[in-house]
Amino acid sequence: MHFIDRENFEEAPISILEKLKNSELNKKWAEYNSARINKTKKPKKPESAWNRDVIRNPLKMLFLKNCGYCGIHTDIGHDAQVDHFFPTSKDETAKYVFEWTNYVWSCSSCNRQKSNNEPFLNPCSSEEMEYIYFDYTDGYYRCKNGTPPDIISKYNLTNQKSKFNSLKRPESRELLYKGVQSDLKKIDRYYRLYKLESKIHGNKSVEAKKKEKILKSKKQDVIKRIYAGHFLFLINFLIKKHTKNNKTFPYTFQELLDESKYLKNN
Ligand SMILES: [Zn+2]
């Protein structure tokens, strides 16, 4: 699990949700949830307006079409859903029906497993996610030393229900990690060689063009991994980390993501 930065996401459908909050539909949901909580006769179930494309699509983009809990690519044989992080079937959180910050893009398995189980780790909470790290040696997500007990119990529940550390997921992430690391090193190497050849012989020289061609093919290797759509927040994290340590790295995750056209492909 990686932190998903909701704060800096510009396409959030806030005004649409504000309208919904002030609508009849919100009142209907309040009545419906109240009946559900108090176990009285429920009125007809109102429209699940969070499933409208205007809300669903931006959320899908924010989560890069990956499940917020287990990290799998939700377009491949999985029916992804808008999960209410704080359940609307509970008294204290029933009011968060049309709250953008309460939506998590979730695969159907995680959503079903999560149900009313609380509390899960919130992938959009930097306070919680700062305690979780990716272990390079085996592809597991683990808690850092000194993690507060309440976060550990959220981690354990989320792990148990979403199975982010089972079903061969750690093995897949370890493999992905090794592949991406190797691609990034090759890009660095050929970018340096290209710059060097360009400096000595000019960027139109045969040698510079040769290096540029290899550089492009190495870049395509990362783009292919992005296009495959698995664990994209891990790839983003690895590229950021690599760029921090190698200031001359020529690409950002966003550029590679855009070039992959992954988000455009539905
Ligand atoms: Zn999932």
pLDDT along the chain (266 residues), means of 10: 92 96 96 93 94 94 95 79 92 93 94 85 96 96 97 96 94 97 96 95 93 96 95 97 93 96 81
pLDDT at 2: 92
CA 68 – ligand 1 centroid, Å: 7
pLDDT at 78: 61
CA 189 – ligand 1 centroid, Å: 36
pLDDT at 75: 78
pLDDT at 12: 96
d(C-alpha 266, C-alpha 257), whole Å = 14
Q: Chain centroid to CA 251: how far?
A: 20
CA 17 – ligand 1 centroid, Å: 25
| Structure tokens belonging to residue 143 | 């808690």
CA 63 – ligand 1 centroid, Å: 12
What is the length of the chain?
266
d(C-alpha 207, C-alpha 194), whole Å = 8
Q: What is the pTM for the complete model shown?
A: 0.93
CA 218 – ligand 1 centroid, Å: 30
CA 114 – ligand 1 centroid, Å: 10
CA 14 – ligand 1 centroid, Å: 25
CA 15 – ligand 1 centroid, Å: 28
CA 246 – ligand 1 centroid, Å: 33
pLDDT at 118: 75
CA 69 – ligand 1 centroid, Å: 5
d(C-alpha 173, C-alpha 1), whole Å = 11
Query: Which residues lie closer than 8 Å to 17 by C-beta, 6 or more apart?
Result: 55, 98, 99, 100
